[in-house]
Structure 1
Amino acid sequence: MTMEQAVELKNQGNSALKNNNFDKAIGLYTQAIELDPTQAVFYSNRAQAYIKTEAFGLAVEDGTKSIEADPNYTKGYYRRAVANAAILKYKEAIKDLKVVLVKAPGDKVAKQYHNEFVKILKQKKFEDAIRGEDTPSAMSQVDFNNPIVGKNPFKQNQLDITVTGTDGKTNEQHIEVNGITKDFIDEMIDIFKRGEKLPKKYAYALIIACNNLLKQEPSMVNISLPNMKKNGKNEVVLEGVDTLTVCGDTHGQFYDLLNIFETYGWVNDRHAYLFNGDFVDRGSWSTEVAFLLYALKLRYPHRLFLNRGNHETNDMNKVYGFEGECKAKYSETLYLMFSESFGSLPLATLIGNDYLVMHGGLFSDDNITLDDIRKINRFKATQPPKEGIEMELLWTDPQPMPGRTPNRRGIGIQFGPDVTEKFCVSNDLSGIIRSHEVRMEGYEKEHNDKLITVFSAPNYCDSQGNKGAIINFTVKNNGEFNLDCEQFEAVPHPDIKPMAYTTNFGL
């Protein structure tokens, strides 16, 4: 009877997985495993549910348990390969796919993924070999003296682009761009809605001009609304601003980004926004999202702020779609320029000297302070290191239990409420705001309400069914401020699937 009950729980888990109810599926598979821990399929199926929730480290563990339960069960190797590839461990993924192809030589999907991972690994080795300090900036390769080639979809608004100089070390161009008006941005949005692209000359100019602007900002930006109580180091007071809206991941969901602005208000002199990383990848309008945010940053440099996320990195862009999208819609040069500009994005923002906002989370060392974040030299390399506080700002996640544990993603750590409490006390903060994880309600208050996760990509990947959310800061008369979390639903978009510009790898 126990085996029959376990199989029934597995079947229910399969149904939940098919209906994208991943957490329910994980719970049902776990119950099945508790009744009968000898069945390879139970671990393999739970691994697939973990993959769908981006718990890749746990998926690797379940793939291993599936293989241990039955070394001839090929799906265990397959699941572990997909999970390892998701956290950029291509060598391990290739080893497992070779086993699959020995046991099932006719498996076309395994062969496709094997060949793709080998290709990615070779390309990465080649890029690492040719990349050096003397590698010219992609931003130095654009000739702005030539007229626009091909169709210019702009009818009413044009950009005036002037090269004002070059960087003596990288030969990167400094340019002045005039004409980024509200009307230009409105027309650009209409062009995107029609499925058309920017002229490459305009696209390149927006990236270079925004990169020049981002490079002037510190690694931790310090902003405050007028009359907020605390004063701090290098604080920029956003005079005249009534509301500061913090958004989490938008992940190339262009129509949901437009809905945020249409619902809560556009960036303007009285309304500032902070986007907390992961603008690109997954969704298939990542270039449109990036161009809209860059244009708004240029139009309102002290009203729109951008933090870097773990998906504003080359390794993630190769797997999750942004590189392929840039090449399909524009050119490899455009992707390389975006990649360079991502290296200029700040890593954190301090609001009112009271709330620290970063994409991932806190640190493996209790002694890290705000000054340590300020001192990060994010220009040493365009790609963040694989360890240390810069990586942790982009990758770590909270957990409900005290202390620290390895991250369920397979990268970085998880930190408990005691870690959050200690960091807030030692740095005189009221709380932490971070993103990086789907929350079914769009946001979640954790760690005795001292940590808030906000996620702004509703119905993530057209499959999760989650709400999106934003956080609004407004100041009271006494200098304290309101912090209000507001939710919204996904809106319709054209029939283009997520990750349309990359091989899905079962993710």
Structure 2
Amino acid sequence: MADAVSLKNQGNDAFKQKDWSGAIDYYTKAIEVNDKEPSFYTNRAQANIKLEAYGYAIADASKAIEIDPNFAKAYYRRAVANTLILKHSDAIHDWKAVVRKNPADKVAKAQYEACQKMVKRDAFLKAIEIADAPSAAVGLDLENMIVEDSYDGVRLKDEMTQEFLDDMTERFKTGKKLHRKYVFQIILAVKDLVYAEATMVETEVAPDHMLTVCGDTHGQYFDLLEIFRLNGFPSQKHGYLFNGDFVDRGSWSTEIALLLYAYKMMYPKFFFLNRGNHETDDMNRMYGFEGECKAKYNERVFKLFSESFSALPLATLIGSKYLTLHGGLFSDDAITLDDIRKLNRHNQRQPGQAGLMMEMLWTDPQTMPGRGPSKRGVGLQFGPDVTKRFCEKNGLEAVIRSHEVRMEGYEVEHDGRCITVFSAPKYCDSTENKGAYINIESDYKLQFNKFDAVPHPDIKPMAYANNSMMSMM
């Protein structure tokens, strides 16, 4: 037991240094020495929560409960993990157990009450869901919407201009907003553009052109600008593909979404946007984007963004060599590129808990062959053999995906056939990772580039998320 406690203490030290993976290694070694101590599992659960491995956290908490059914911290960890993957109906039972065991715990009581509200809200939203609900644009008279003389920004007419883009970029740096008319105008224009695109966009890189693939940006506006500063701004010869998760967590999500949308307006044939798992209503309600839209603009802006997110393509095929999608591969080896081409994403606005769309947005690679349960608690994991079969069957060199923090900003896995790129350095101000982006020229060689986080104004991540979420992060 002394050896196990020593390993646990080393894990605690690593955790304090924000070395979540190192902490997990020590907690795992402690468990190998003594697998009957529940606190080792709850400590590892907390480190897994930090790594967004919520499925693993739930498994660890459940094991701790199996060892000691009265261990309140284990119920707390499992409740947090289920809440963070939006499984409120599962979380509520554990919050109730924590309150019952520790009736004086005000934080747990507040979480239980918040979870009750979420369960009721989810039921209400499901009850009023209408398949063909009218657009939030109905009744929006942009033509007659007045931009007041006091507005100090560049005016936008029918077409996006470089002058407007430059002004917008600077406005956002200094905390200024766009006029709501222009916000509506940009969202509606891009919604129409992306709606008309295929579910899997197919593009080539012409001679003397370059395409840059970026991963998650998660509302880290100043780090997005750092990519452009280092790598060049979008142009007709320098295209960009942003591979989902533009929003949530970071507190400049509206700024990122609007800037990316403005570039899509400017260069519709050279600037591409794939949908991520955070371009969905349930994630936006929990992780801050809905609250940010309401705080900076209004609820209608969020609803229009939601409609535009559901219109986004789910994948981009680059030069018939690289399938680029946010999450990863599938539960069935029979799935091909043609199945993605045939998928009518407009019939299903939200990805749900199963099916092709969900898997494209949520799955992750694993080192072991075959398929396994998701460490996130949503979707699944796929091994190198799955990737190899998919690439060979579809004539691909590799799959490029995002969706996960990588400490160097990117990682090449599965014998070079699965590449993860993540473009939010120092993620949530709490993980000491680099960001990365991939440049692809007409020879289709992948050029990996890493970059560090840059300073930003003193606004914390998750500033617009609900208060109960903040206390769990």
Q: Which amino acid aligns with 2:362?
A: W
**Residue 45 (structure 2) aligns with:** 47
Normalised TM-score (structure 2): 0.97
**Residue 192 (structure 2) aligns with:** 212
**1:143 Cα deviation after fit:** 2.4
RMSD, aligned α-carbons: 1.4
> In structure 2, what is the Cα distance between the partners aligned to 1:247 and 1:77?
38
Q: Percent identity?
A: 57
| 2:125 is aligned with 1:124 | no
> In structure 2, what is the Cα distance between the partners aligned to 1:113 and 1:149?
43
C-alpha contact (below 8 Å) 1:185/1:295 kept by paired residues: yes
Give a deviation string over 1:89-138, Cα, whole Å, max 9, x none: 10111110001111111212212222222222222222222221352111
**Residue 174 (structure 2) aligns with:** 194
Q: Which amino acid aligns with 1:272?
A: G
Runs of 4+ displaced beyond 3 Å: 145-155
**Residue 289 (structure 2) aligns with:** 322
**Residue 112 (structure 1) aligns with:** 110
| 2:219 is aligned with 1:252 | yes
| 2:423 is aligned with 1:419 | no
SS of corresponding position for 1:448 = helix
SS of corresponding position for 2:354 = coil
Q: Which amino acid aligns with 2:53?
A: A
C-alpha contact (below 8 Å) 1:153/1:191 kept by paired residues: no
C-alpha contact (below 8 Å) 2:425/2:451 kept by paired residues: yes
> In structure 1, what is the Cα distance between the partners aligned to 2:146 and 2:106?
44
Q: Which has the higher contact order (CA 8 A, sep 6+)?
A: 2
Q: How is 1:77-476 mapped onto 2 (pairs within 5 angstroms)?
A: 77-148=75-146, 153-155=151-153, 157-160=154-157, 177-178=158-159, 180-226=160-206, 242-475=209-442
**Residue 59 (structure 1) aligns with:** 57
**Residue 236 (structure 1) aligns with:** none
C-alpha contact (below 8 Å) 1:50/1:59 kept by paired residues: yes
Q: Which moved more, 1:124-133 or 1:20-29?
A: 124-133
Give a deviation string over 1:211-254, Cα, whole Å, max 9, x none: 01111100000000126xxxxxxxxxxxxx51100000000000
C-alpha contact (below 8 Å) 2:399/2:419 kept by paired residues: yes
Q: How is 1:474-493 mapped onto 2 (pairs within 5 angstroms)?
A: 474-475=441-442, 480-493=443-456
Normalised TM-score (structure 1): 0.90
**1:31 Cα deviation after fit:** 1.1
Of 3, 10, 14, which residue of structure 1 is paired with 2:12?
Answer: 14
C-alpha contact (below 8 Å) 2:371/2:381 kept by paired residues: yes
* Alignment size in residue pairs: 470
SS of corresponding position for 1:139 = coil
| More helix, by proportion | 2
**1:153 Cα deviation after fit:** 4.0
> In structure 1, what is the Cα distance between the partners aligned to 2:143 and 2:315?
37
**Residue 71 (structure 2) aligns with:** 73
**1:389 Cα deviation after fit:** 1.4
**1:152 Cα deviation after fit:** 5.4
| 2:458 is aligned with 1:495 | yes
C-alpha contact (below 8 Å) 1:249/1:278 kept by paired residues: yes
Change (3 A) 1:487 1:153: farther
SS of corresponding position for 1:481 = coil
